[in-house]
Structures are given as C-alpha cells and as structure tokens.
Structure 1
Amino acid sequence: MIPPAWSSLPFFTTDWPRIAAALENDPRPILPPRDRIFAALNACTPAQTRVILLGQDPYPTPGHAHGLAFSVEPEVRPLPRSLNNIFKELIDDLGAAPRTGDLRFWARQGVLLLNTALTVPAGQAGGHAKLGWSTLTAQVLDALNDRPRAAILWGNHAQGFAPHLTRPDHLILKTAHPSPLSARKGFFGSRPFSRVNDWLIAKGDTPIDWTNA
C-alpha cells in the first residue's frame, strides 16, 4: 500500500503505523477506499512530478473521493462545487474543460494532485485534518524542493505549506480557494493553467494538456 517511489520518506516509518491503526479502529466509513488512500503518490513519482496542486481533504460524499485532490470518478454528476468552479476557470483561461471530473489524466502528465489530509470520515469534512497527515505533506514538498517545479496553492491552508518550497526558481501560484465561499475573492480570473504552461514552455518543457482526457 505504501507508494514505492515515496517509501523512503520518514513518515512511513514514524507516523503511518499510528495513522493506519487509527483508521482501522474508526467505526465510521472512511473515504477514499483504503486501496486509494495513496493514489496521488502512486500516480506521480518524485521524478515524474512537474506540477504540485495541493488540496485540503478528500470529498466527504461517498462515491466521490478516489485519492486525487479535486478529482472524482468519471460518472459523478453534478460535479462538486469546487471542481465546478475549477472547470469554469479552465474555460475562461483555456476555452475548454475536461468532459468529466476524473483528473487522473493530469496525474499521468506529472501533476501531483495531493490532499493535505488523505482521509476523511464520510460526511465530515475536515474530520481527519489533525490525524497527522500534514507531516506527509511537508515531507513530500521537501522532497520536491530539489529542482524547479510549479506549485498551485489555492487557499490559506495550502499556502501554509509554501515554506517547504524554498527554491527561487519554483513557480508558486497563490490565490483564493475555488470553493463557492472564496472563488470570487481572487480565484476566478487567476489563469493558473495557462500560467503554468507558459512557465513550462519557457523552461523548454512540454505544457500540460488540462482539458482533454
């Protein structure tokens, strides 16, 4: 279950056994399914990661979360409100959006869709925010501080991890979160997708195809 490419992180020795035991003993339904908890890290090795997109915790609605931040299973309709706002910004920025809310095709291009808490009790948003997952987030970002990468940090929670990305040649985009409560406070109109692609192209790298699965 531990993602092989990240298994050297101290978290998996010092913190994961305790968290795993807490999840095992929690009588509530836990999301995403156990075999999807580390899906984001399994989808992107450190070497493959070109863009970091930090979420907060998995969707608390059963059937939505599948281990990648902001992403849902392809049959989910309507889209979660934050993801719907992300798609609105994609259309404004690039003129199109994906056909479904399944963003695994972003991960296949090197976008690490990492939540800062990897589990949530069903129906209880933020219910595992203090379980200890933030240690993993910090260590992942420390590991990704070795070469220039783009980081999209939406909202104060994600931006709180910015100190782990210290290189001056990172591209770090900080705006409001796409949730309905804050999207109009700086998320809409921020054009993060084209800005990341412009940065990648300027480095001689391949841009991300954000819109076509």
Structure 2
Amino acid sequence: MTMDREKKEDLPGVFSVSESKGCHGKRQLSLDDMFSKRKTSAGTGPSKSLEAGWTYEGCAQPCEYCRLEEKIDPRWRMHLKPEFGKDYFRGVKRFLHENRNHLPPIDKIFTFSRFFPLEKTKVVIMGQDPYHNDNQAMGLSFSVPVGIPVPPSLKNIYLEISSDIEGFEVPSHGDLSGWAERGVLLLNDVLTVTKNRPNSHAGIGWREFTSCILQVINEKCTNVVFMLWGRHAQAKGKFINRNKHLVLTCGHPSPLSSSHFFGCKHFSKANKYLMDHGKSPVEWQV
C-alpha cells in the first residue's frame, strides 16, 4: 500500500525514481528503483526492510502472503513483475493476509501459470471467480479435482463440446488439467473467493491483475483464441486486438444463461482458427 506521510519522512536519503508505463498505459513509479541501493548523508546503505521489499505490518519477517507473487510460475512472473510493486497488488496481499479463509488455498491461486510459458498460450477461457465450496477450487477456471462432482456449468460445457466435436465423450470427472497441458489458459477474472461467499473478492484488486495478464498475452502472443462467456468475461474483450487474435463470445454456461451458450460451437471454431494459422488444434477430450 502507499506509504503515509509520516513513514515517508522517516526514510533517510533521496530516492532515485524511474517512470515506466504499466499494463494500462499509465505512468508508474518503480518501487524497485525507490528501494534500490542509495547513499545517505551518513554514508550508510539501505535498511534490510527496504531490501526485502513489502512486508505486512504484523509480520516480523516476510511470510508467504508478503511474497505472494513468488507463487506464480517464473515463466509468467517475469512478464508480470511491474505489477507487484503497485498499490492494488499490495492491497490484494494485505486483504488475503487479513482474510485467510479463502479459496483456493494460497498454493493453488496461480495454478493456471504452471503448465506452459505465457508465450505458448493457444486458447484463453475466462471464468468469473473460483468455486466457493470446500475442495472445488484448484486455480483453473471451471475445473474441479477428480473425485469432486462436476459442477453444473462444466456439465453444460461438456454437453456443448459433445455436440460440437465429433467423438467427444462426456467425462465422469471435472479436472481440466489436460486442457491446460495443451496450451489452454483457464483464467478466472477474480482469483480468490471467501468460502461459501461467491463473488466476495470481486473488489480487492484481482480484476486489474487479470486484465494485465490478458494485455501481456495480447502483446506477446499472436493468433490466440479468447473464449469470453457472459458479461463479466466479455468486458475483458477491450484488452484484445482482434486483428491478431480471435475473440469468441456467447452467454455463460451457467444453467441460468445456458440457452445463450448452447450452440456457440466455440471449440470447433477455435481449432479451425488455430489450424488456419499454422497451429495444432486442441484435443478437447479430458
């Protein structure tokens, strides 16, 4: 979070601050530069707390919430590094530090980043926020671990694929890790939720972070298919250049709106687009 005036006055020396443009094109001050080595009037170096980066006020030493960004796979973290010093991301860390009854657990928040490098993204399927019941959320949108009943939205996704992709057999489980292994980014708009309280973390800062992820993919990749289902996901479409990517939109697969989802044929359309642009199609069977 932003330091208050009293804390700023307690910091000795003069900062050398550089400016850069973040994901949203705004000028951002680099906190790495602010807290980099500097000479003070007494000739001493920076304190250990400044070298260590942000630490929650109640922590004697940085905990796993203070270092939340380290849970992101390095192949993705390198592209997102400018975000970690921003106030909104520190706000996310502060909120989770103070509200630990969240899903998925901290080690699974960024599961989506662990299957392939960002540059290898072929398809993006946007969800809204994680499942809010025990043992469901696993850091992949719409996916649940093997052994957990398949949620209604995913059942409808399977039904749509079975009518769209010849030979697809509806699985008995809801684990979509196989898609992730094939270059499908299963990303929720909001990455955490309070247990039994859907959409409870919508305003803590995750949406800015996931918007940045989409903007980096838009910039670094070519010919990616974005499946945006429902109003929340479609709002992300403004970050995507339709001259270099394919954006597919329809209703959300929830039973409440599935009539606007069935018949979209997004899965065959995605594979056709990928093949037309020299990429291998996605095997949708899981």
**Equivalent of residue 48 in structure 1, options 111, 117, 120:** 120
**Equivalent of residue 59 in structure 1, options 112, 131, 148:** 131
For residue 5 of structure 1, report the CA deviation from its aligned partner.
Answer: 2.0
Structure 1 residues 177, 53: closer, same or farther in 2, change over 3 A? Answer: same
Is 1:203 the counterpart of 2:274? The answer is: no
Alignment of 1:14-163 (within 5 A): 14=86, 15-26=88-99, 29-77=101-149, 79-94=150-165, 95-146=168-219, 147-163=222-238
- Note the alpha carbon deviations across 1:175-208, whole angstroms, 9 max, x for none: 0000011011x20011111110111111121110
Letter in 1 for 2:197: Q
Is 1:165 the counterpart of 2:235? The answer is: no
Is contact 1:93–1:193 with CA below 8 Å preserved after alignment? yes
Aligned partners of 1:173 and 1:166: how far apart in 2? 13
Aligned partners of 1:97 and 1:195: how far apart in 2? 19
| RMSD of Structure 2 on Structure 1 (CA) | 1.3
TM-score by length of 2: 0.70
Runs of 4+, deviation exceeding 4 Å? none
Specify every segment of 5 or more residues in structure 2 that has no aligned partner in the other structure, as ranges: 1-70
Is 1:5 the counterpart of 2:55? The answer is: no
Letter in 2 for 1:190: C
Is contact 1:116–1:137 with CA below 8 Å preserved after alignment? yes
TM-score by length of 1: 0.93
The 10-residue stretch of structure 1 (94-103 or 150-159) with the greater mean CA deviation from structure 2: 94-103
Is contact 2:223–2:277 with CA below 8 Å preserved after alignment? no
Specify every segment of 5 or more residues in structure 1 that has no aligned partner in the other structure, as ranges: none
- Give the length in aligned residue pairs: 209
Is contact 1:3–1:42 with CA below 8 Å preserved after alignment? yes
For residue 137 of structure 1, report the CA deviation from its aligned partner.
Answer: 1.3
The 10-residue stretch of structure 1 (198-207 or 51-60) with the greater mean CA deviation from structure 2: 198-207
Identity %: 39
Is contact 1:154–1:176 with CA below 8 Å preserved after alignment? yes
